[in-house]
Chains A and B, each alone.
Chain A
Amino acid sequence: MKPKIAIFSLTSCEGCSLAILELEDQLLDLLGAVEIVNFREGMTERAWDIDVGFVDGAVSTPQDDEEVRHFRAHCKTLVAIGSCACLGGINTLKHYQSGGATRDEGAAHAAGGNGRVAEYRRYVYGENAEWFATTPARPISAVVAVDYQLPGCPMVKEEFVELVKCLLIGKPFRLPETAVCVECKRRGSRCLYEMGIICFGPITRAGCNAICPAYGSKCEGCRGLVSPDAIAAAGINLREQYRVDLNEALADLRLYGAYQEALLP
C-alpha cells in the first residue's frame, strides 16, 4: 500500500506547500510512490486517514491551534515544513510591535500578552481590530509533538525529497549539524563576511547549499541557529572584527524565528 500523504497550511505564505508542486520533474515519481489524500490548495477531495502529514505555517490564531491538534490526531507522522512551522518564521515579528520593540517586551508579549487588543492589530484593522482573532505566533512544536522538521524559508526541496525517501525505505533522517559556511566554502562563493557584511552563515544550519551567498546576498539565517557554541563564537568574532554587539545583530536574526531567542546568549 502506498503511504497516504497530506499537505496542510496554517498561518503562512504557503510557499512551502507550493515548493512541493515546484518539484516538477520529481513530482510524477513522487505521485507514483505515495498517494496524496488531502491538499486543499491542489485538490477538492479531502480524506483524514493519513500516514504522513506535512504542515507549513505558524500557529498564530486560535483556529490554527485547533487545526494543528486535529492534524496531529489524524497523521501517524507529522512533519513541520519551513521556518514558519519550525521556528515561528516571519510571523513572530509581530511580537516586537506592541509599542516598544525590545527583546524583553517582545518575549513577554509572545508569552501570552494577548489579553488586550495589541497595538499591531489596531494598526492594521483600526477600531475593528477585535473582529480578527490572533495569538502569539509559535512553531507547531510548541503546540503538538512533531516528528521531523524541514527548516528554511522556503524549505529546501531536495531535503524534502530526501526525507520522503527515508520515510519510504525506513531509513533514519537527520538535518546537517554544520554551519552554512561549510557549504559556502565548498561551493566557492565569495565570502561576504570577509567583505564586511554581517552574514549569518557561521551560525546558521547548513542544508540549503549556501544559496544566498551564491547569489551575492548575505545569509539571513532562515534555517535557524545551528548550535549555541557557534553563536558564542560568532559573538566574539563580531565584536573583535567589526565592533558590532551580537545583540544588535539579533534584530536582523529575528526575521525568520524570534522564537529561537531562548537559545541566544
Chain B
Amino acid sequence: MCGANRGCLEPVADGYPVRRADRTGCGAAMMNVTIDVKHVTRVEGHGNIAVRLRDGKITHLQLAIVESPRFFEAFLRGRHWSEAPHITCRICGICSVGHTTASVKAMEAALGMTVSEQTVMLRKLAFFGEQLQSHVLHLYFLAVPDFLGVGSVIPLAKSHPDVVKRALRMKRLANDVCSVVGGRHIHPIALHVGGCTHVPADEDLIDLKRRLEAARADLNETVSLFSMLSPPELHRDTEYVSLKDAAGEYAFYDGDIVSTKDARPTPVSRYRERVIESVVQHSAAKHCRSPHAPTYAVGALARFNNNHAQLHPAARGAAEVLGLRAPCDNPFHNNTAQLVETVHCVESAIELIDAMLRRGLRAERPVEPTRFGRGAGAAEVPRGVLFHEYEVGRDGKIAGANLIIPTGQNLANIEEDMRAMVPRMIEAGKTREEMTLQLEMLVRAYDPCISCATHFLEVEWQ
C-alpha cells in the first residue's frame, strides 16, 4: 500500500488557497444524484463523465469518449512503410515522439531491420525529452490547479508567478531536448524507420547538459511543492501492466510485458496474449482487459510498481521524500509517480549525453529493409505502454495495422475506480459538487489522452 497515507479525501495544500465545496445538502438528501460532466476540462481530448444514483445506488456510470473517431489504422493501409511514423505521430501532439518511437520499432520488426547503437541513443534522448515535457505539462498545468483550488494555471501566473515560471522553464528545456534530436517536439522530423537524418552538434548537447544540471534546483522545488499536496485516498486491487527491460534500464524505450499479477515476461511480439480489446458503444476508444483481470492500469504508477528498483538513485530519493512506495494501488498517486519519473528522466538524460559526447556522434546511413512482413513494437510513452503492429506487403505498402493506446487500456479501469469511489463519497456525506470535483480529479490523475485513444480497430489482417 502507499506510504503517503494522509487519510483524507479532501485536497489540502499548505500555504495555498484550497477550494472547499459547499457542504450543505449532504447525506440523506443526496440519495438521488445525477452528475454530468460534459467535456472534462484539462485533459487532452473530449470525454464526458455520467453518474446516476437512485436511492444511493449507482444505476449508471460511464466515462464516455466523444472524441471523433480518427481511423488511423484504416488509412495507414496503402501508404509506403517509411511514412508510418510520420502518419501515426499525428495521432497525438503530446505523445508524438512516443508514437514515432513505437512506430519505428514496429516497422523495423516487420522489415527485419536492426538500427545502430547511435540511433537508439538519439531516440532515447528524444524520448526522455517527451516524458519530461508531458509530465511537467500534466503536473503543473493540468493537475496542480485542482490542488491549489483554481480552474487553470492562468490565475497562478498572478498569484504564484514563481511556480508558473518554473513550470515554463522546465517545459522549455524538455522541448529543447526533443528539438535538438528531432527538429521539433510536436511531430519530430529527423526520427525515421532505420535511423536518424540529423545528428546533434556537440555544442548543442553540451548546452542541454548544462541546462539539465541547472534544472535539478527546479526539480527539488517541484518535489517539495508536491510533498505538501495530499492526493485523495482511494485503494482498489488493480493489475498494473508495463514493460520491463531485461537489460536493467527503467523501461521506457524497450522491454517485455509484465504485470503486478503476472511477473513472467511476455515478449512484445506476443502482446495479444496480455491485452484483449473490445468495442463498447459509449466510447469511440476501445476498452481493454487482461487474461488476469477485467480491467488493468498502465502509466507512470504501473511502471513505478513494476520497475522501481531500476530507477535512478535520485529518483528513488524523490519517491522517498514524496512517500511513494511500491506496490501502490492509489490511482491518484499516478501524479506522484510522474514526478519521480521526471527526476529519473533528467538524470538519465544527463548520463546519456555524457555517453554520446564520449563516443562522438557522426552521420550514418539509414538501415535498409531485409524483408517485408509483420512486426510489433512497443514503448512506455508518458501515459503507459503503447503498442504498434504493422503488416507490410511485397510492394512495400502497409497492408494492415493495429495500434493499442495507453488511455484505451485505462478507460475501463477508470470506470471501476469511479464505481469504488462513489459509494465512499456518499458515505462521507460529500456534496454533488465535491463528488464531481473528485471524479474529475480521478480522470485527470490518469492523465488521459483521449484523442490518442480513439484509434482502435477491429483487426482484420489481409
B218 at the interface (CB under 8 A from A): no
Q: Which residue of A lies closest to B458 (CB)?
A: A126
Q: Which residue of A lies closest to B91 (CB)?
A: A13
The answer to whether B172 touches A13 (Cβ under 8 A) is: no
**Which candidate, B39-47, B322-330, B414-422, is the interface stretch facing chain A?**
B39-47
Interface size on A, residues (CB 8 A): 63
A43 CA / B157 CA spacing, docked (Å): 13
- Are the C-beta atoms of B41 and A60 separated by less than 8 Å? no
Give CA–CA (A18, B151) in the complex, Å: 18
- Nearest residue in A to B93 (C-beta to C-beta)? A15
Option from A12, A28, A153 in Cβ contact (under 8 Å) with B168: A28
Tell me the dominant secondary structure on chain B's binding face: loop
Q: Does B77 contact A (CB under 8 A)?
A: yes
Other-chain contact of B153, A42, A91, A134 (Cβ < 8 Å):
A42
Chain A contacts for B172, CB-based, 8 A: 24-25
> Which residue of chain B has its CB nearest to the CB of A124?
B457
What 1/0 mask marks residues of chain A from 226 to 252 whose CB sits below 8 Å from any chain B CB? 000000000000000000000000001
Number of interface residues of B (CB under 8 A): 65
Residues in A neighbouring B153, C-beta threshold 8 A: 42-43
Partner of A12, one of B137, B141, B151, B451: B451
Cα-based distance from A254 to B175 in the complex (angstroms): 28
**Assembly CA distance A44 to B45 (angstroms):** 14
Considering only CB atoms, which chain A residue lies closest to B133 in the complex? Answer: A22
> Are B74 and A124 closer than 8 Å at their CB atoms?
yes
Q: Quick check: A63 and B68 within 8 Å, CB to CB?
A: yes
Cα distance A85–B315 in the bound complex, in angstroms:
41
A167 at the interface (CB under 8 A from B): no
Interface centre among A39, A131, A217 (most CB of B within 10 A): A217
Are A31 and B154 neighbours in the complex by a CB distance under 8 Å?
yes
Q: Which residue of A lies closest to B96 (CB)?
A: A15
Complex Cα gap A94–B42 (Å): 29
* CA gap between A21 and B39 in the complex, in Å: 20
One digit per residue, 1 when the CB lies within 8 angstroms of any chain A CB and 0 when it does not, for chain B 231-269 equals 000000000000000000000000000000000000000
Q: Does the CB pair A13–B96 fall under 8 Å?
A: yes
Selected from B45, B75, B164, B171, the residue in CB contact (under 8 A) with A14 is B45
Q: Which residues of B contact A126 (CB under 8 A)?
A: 279, 458, 460
* Chain B residues closer than 8 Å to A11, beta-carbon distance: 68, 70
9 contacts between A and B (CB under 8 A): A13-B451, A14-B451, A15-B94, A15-B187, A63-B68, A121-B71, A124-B458, A125-B279, A153-B90
Binding site for A on B (CB under 8 A): 39, 41-46, 66, 68-71, 73-75, 77-80, 83, 86-87, 90-94, 96, 137, 141-142, 145, 151-154, 157, 164-165, 168-169, 171-172, 175, 182-187, 189-190, 192, 196-198, 279, 281, 284, 451, 455-458, 460
